[in-house]
Amino acid sequence: MFFPIRTLILVIIFSGFIVLQVFLSKTESKWPGLVLPITAFIISFTLPLNMMVPAEGVTAGLILQMISVWLLGNIPTVMLLAIYFVCRDKYRRKKQLDKMNINDLA
């Protein structure tokens, strides 16, 4: 079957974001690794605002739809935070091991 070029471009872009998140999460400072998750979280607030309000006004169904759109919009945020915490956990363990080695030398 024919694999659409747009799908391939999207896969490359998403892979680039994942590689960038891993790279930023492995830096010594913790803040660069939080840039992409915070950005994704802020962008997720704009998704429900793009929904059209029906003619009868705001109903409970619309509010539930807006909440579900917001939750689905936060899936990238959760994925980026998971990558961040996995990378930072390895860094935290390495830092504790270095502290133990320094204490053994003293």
Residue 6 and residue 17: Cα distance in Å, rounded? 17
- The predicted-structure confidence for 78-93, as pLDDT tens digits, reads as follows 999 999 999 988 778 8
Asked if 45 and 33 count as a contact pair (C-beta separation under 8 A), the reply is no
Whether this model's pTM surpasses 0.75: yes
41 sits in which H/E element: helix 35-44
| Count of beta carbons in the 10 Å neighbourhood of residue 104 | 7
pLDDT value for 28: 85
33 contacts 21 by C-beta, under 8 angstroms: yes
Tokens found for residue 63:
């509010």
